[in-house]
Every structure is written in structure tokens, then in C-alpha cells.
Amino acid sequence: MKPLIFALCVVSAFGSLSAQKPVWQPSPGHTQVPIWPGRVPDPQPVAGPEAAETSGKDFLVAGRPAVGVSSVMQPTMTVYSPKGKNTGAAVVVFPGGGYQVLAIDLEGTEVCDWLTPKGITCVLLKYRVTDVGPYPKSGPYPESSMALEDAQRTVGLVRFRAADWHIDPHKIGVLGFSAGGHLSAAMSTHFAKRLYPAVDAADKESCRPDFAVAIYPGHLSLSAAEWDAKQGTKNFVIPHPATADKDLALNPDLHVTSQTPPTFLLQAEDDHVDNVNDSLAYYVALKKAGVPVEMHLYAQGGHAFGQRRTKFPITGWPQLVETWLGTIGMISE
């Protein structure tokens, strides 16, 4: 992903996020729960209070706007439980937004509306993000550890509360979009050790996802130019791999192993925010490590379509995920 380009997209979609705005609340019957019992680890100052803003007419998906949440410094999770059948599977959802805002409905609540009727418990994570401004901004790990800390904590919490929420502790996955897609990959490769000191018994649970879904993910690859630019910077002394296509190099901060969970990848070739090489590079690394992986590439579809149906065939992806979850044994086919 090109962070500057995406930052401009975010500003264009949601306008200025510094003015006083309403605070996002889930639908009636659902409650946000803080994921940290006390002070959050690695706190950062923000330019203003948390706010939710609806995009204008310049950003419509399937004819509808989207809601962006900014300046999140108190992360929460909202549990959406199945009303009828329960497969025992659970999905922690990571909305995208360039690690600067969260597309909380387009890539969050609407996904839960799809999953819960299928008998899958959905846990929507409102992870920490900060807007651009005079303060340190959030970003992908290791540029910033906040989002990954929140994700690790939440998966552990879901596993800890599995019996209470009628979840199979061996069927807990992650699903993310754009930056949230990167967070899904980061969770799939950074689960052996927490980034923060344990605060309670939930942090003793494994935070390894049992499966991962990354929809139009970013930050998964480095171009040859980006790789060379990072040489000599802190903690980056790795020579560029001798690949046939040097623009298809995996981000070295993602350490794929045979323990990385089964993964589903989806992206459009005309995605001009997150290059299709992000999915391709990660796919190649997963295959080399012997990790079960399924990837779908479509010629058209662009970026940030979420779960909404448009004229492009790629927006039928939810059915592909349902089929895949059956093939890996997470739900009944």
C-alpha cells in the first residue's frame, strides 16, 4: 500500500476529521466492551476526541456512503452472536482505513450482518488509529504496535471467553480489509509472543488465528525501490531477495512459517490503492511454507467495496469465503 495515496483517499472520503463529530455506537442490542482492563499499552496522544463521520457523495459504494471512525485511543470489541444455528466458528473483523480511520460499517458491521445468519459469531474490533497531524500516527507493525497489540489481545480474549460465547476455541479466525487485511496477515505471523506484558489470564491464551481472510490487503509486499530505500534504517539489514520479479518481494516484517494459519486472499487487478502484488507476494510465501492458501484475483473491482454488491463479479466474494471455510473444516459445507 502507498500510505500517502491512501491518506489522501481517506481525507477525500471522510473530509476533515478534526472538528467535533458524533461518536460511533453499534446497533441496539450490541454493546462495545473495552478490550483492556486498564491503561492501554504504548498510548499515544491524539489531536482530538474519537469521532464518526459519514462520507460525502464523492465516496459511495453501491450507491451508499460509509462511516469512518477516527482518533480511536480506547479500543473496543463488539460481539455479534448468531440468533439461530451456531457453527461454533468465530471471526474477529478488522475494518480498513489506512491505519488512520476505520470504515466501521462498510468493512465492519455489514460483515457481521453477513456472518451471523451463517451461524458464525462475529467480533468487531475497533482498534487504535490516529489521524495525521502534529502527533505520532498509527500504522502497520512495526511502524506502530498499537493495532497489532489490540488484535492480539482480542483474539486471546475471544479464546478465553469461548465457552461463554458458545465458540469452539479451535475455530477462531480473523478477517480484514485493506489495512485490516494487513492486520490479518500480521496476526498470522506474530502470534508466538505478545507485544505487551500480560495483564490477565486472557493473555495466557494463544492469539494464533485458526484461519485468516485478507480482502484487498496492503503492506504485504515491498517494491525494489521501497526495499532499497529501507536499507540501513533501524532493524532493516536484509538484502533484497533474488527473485525473478523484484516487485514481488514479501514485506520482511511478515515472517511466514508452517504455523501460519490457512489463508484466503482476494484482490482486484485494477486496485490502485493496494497493488495486486501485495496478495501475490504473500501467496507465494504461504505456498513456499506449505500453508494452505486460496487466492482469487479479478480483473476489475478497484478498492474498498467491502461486502456490498456492485456490478463487478468480485463483490460475490462472501460466497467464496463461505465455501472455503467449509473446505478447511471451520463450518459444515
pLDDT tens profile 117-137: 999 999 999 999 987 666 667
Give the chain's domains with CATH numbers: 3-327 (3.40.50.1820)
Task: Give the angle subtended at the CA of 323 by the CAs of 320 and 328, to the nearest 5°.
Answer: 120
Confidence grade of residue 323 (pLDDT, cut at 50, 70, 90): very high
Cβ atoms of 146 and 128 within 8 Å: the answer is yes
Residues in the chain: 333
Q: So what's the pLDDT on residue 209?
A: 98
Confidence grade of residue 47 (pLDDT, cut at 50, 70, 90): confident
Nearest to 259 by CA among 195, 191, 204, 172: 191
Nearest to 178 by CA among 315, 110, 273: 273
Secondary structure class of 133 (helix, strand, coil): coil
Cell matching residue 112:
457481521
Nearest to 262 by CA among 309, 209, 216: 209
Secondary structure class of 94 (helix, strand, coil): strand
> Can you give the pTM of this predicted structure?
0.90
What 3 state SS string does 166-203 have? CCCCCCEEEEEECHHHHHHHHHHHCCCCCCCCCCCHHH
Confidence grade of residue 14 (pLDDT, cut at 50, 70, 90): low
Confidence grade of residue 158 (pLDDT, cut at 50, 70, 90): very high
Beta bridge partners of 211: 173
CA distance 292 to 265: 11
Nearest to 140 by CA among 9, 45, 278: 278
CA distance 313 to 295: 15
Cβ atoms of 92 and 125 within 8 Å: the answer is yes
CA distance 181 to 184: 5
Q: Please determine, for residue 12, whether its predicted confidence score (pLDDT) is greater than 60.
A: no
Kindly report, residue by residue over 248-280, the tens digit of the pLDDT. 789 999 999 999 999 999 999 999 999 999 999
Q: So what's the pLDDT on residue 45?
A: 81
Q: So what's the pLDDT on residue 248?
A: 73
Q: So what's the pLDDT on residue 245?
A: 57
Kindly report, residue by residue over 217-241, the tens digit of the pLDDT. 999 998 655 555 665 554 444 444 4
Beta bridge partners of 268: 298
- Stretch 86-109: mean pLDDT, rounded? 97
Cell matching residue 258:
508452517
CA distance 123 to 79: 5
* Average model confidence (pLDDT) across the chain: 89
Q: So what's the pLDDT on residue 134?
A: 63
Confidence grade of residue 46 (pLDDT, cut at 50, 70, 90): confident
What are phi and psi for residue 6, nearest 5 degrees?
-70, -35
Task: Give the angle subtended at the CA of 22 by the CAs of 18 and 24, to the nearest 5°.
Answer: 110
Pairing of strands 263-268, 101-103: unpaired
